[in-house]
Amino acid sequence: MRLYGKNPVLERLKSASQTIRKIIIRKGVNLENIVRLAREKDINLTHMPEDKFRNFTQGLHCQGVVAEVDKFAYNYLEDFLDRKDDELLTIVFLDHITDPQNLGSIIRSLACFGDFALVIPKHESVSITETVLRVACGGESFVPIALIPNLSVGLELVKKRGYWVAGAVADGGSSLLEAKILFPLALVMGSEDKGIRMALRNHLDLSLTLPMPGVGISFNVATATAIFCYEIFRQKHKGKFTCD
């Protein structure tokens, strides 16, 4: 696989440099931090002429740097659960999300908040691709991601381990602005056209709806996930963070 762009490559160098096989930099581009770290970690560096680099990247905007990396390594769902109570992550289950742009944006948002993990199904869903990694902008280095055969089985497992399960629904749920969220928590987000499948709704302890009094359109799933996860972050860490 390839990572495109300064931030994805830099974050991978910092967090998982052992997965990087080679870094290719366009000649004339100043990337001192990446070059220094790559040399410190003894990673192969290649400087490529501009025309050859453009062909190599097929014209993608990548700020003059590409890293060839190992195939993405998923976590096991059980890895998220085998933690001390005060270290448990909030787990986001994505149901039938097929757009790599949305998945990449969700990973980036979860990385910004911290303390989140992600679960995606093997079937009828996008997996971690080069496009996803490009949009995630390095976020995959900070969000553990599990790929599982069946989301229902996964939700049953987290409930047995003491998790509450909430789901985002378009209508009829408790207002996100008023609901008290209980932890540890798993959040289920469905596709924009179909929402959460009924088989998964049966596992929900709490249905949450985002009030939208404006015009009659809705957020895409990436934006909605960011909003729901911000409120989860806010309630989980209330009083712990200040903005200077």
Instruction: Enumerate domains of the chain plus CATH numbers.
Output: 2-69 (3.30.1330.30), 77-236 (3.40.1280.10)
The model's pTM is 0.92
Phi, psi torsion values for 158, nearest 5 degrees = -65, -35
Tokens of 144: 């553990």
Average pLDDT, the chain: 93
Look at residue 37 and tell me whether its pLDDT is greater than 70: yes
Buried b (16+ CB within 10 A) or exposed e, 178-200: ebebeebbbbbbbbbeebbbeeb
Look at residue 86 and tell me whether its pLDDT is greater than 90: no
Query: According to the model, what pLDDT value does residue 213 have?
Result: 76
Query: According to the model, what pLDDT value does residue 102 have?
Result: 97
**Per-residue pLDDT band at 6 (split at 50, 70, 90):** very high
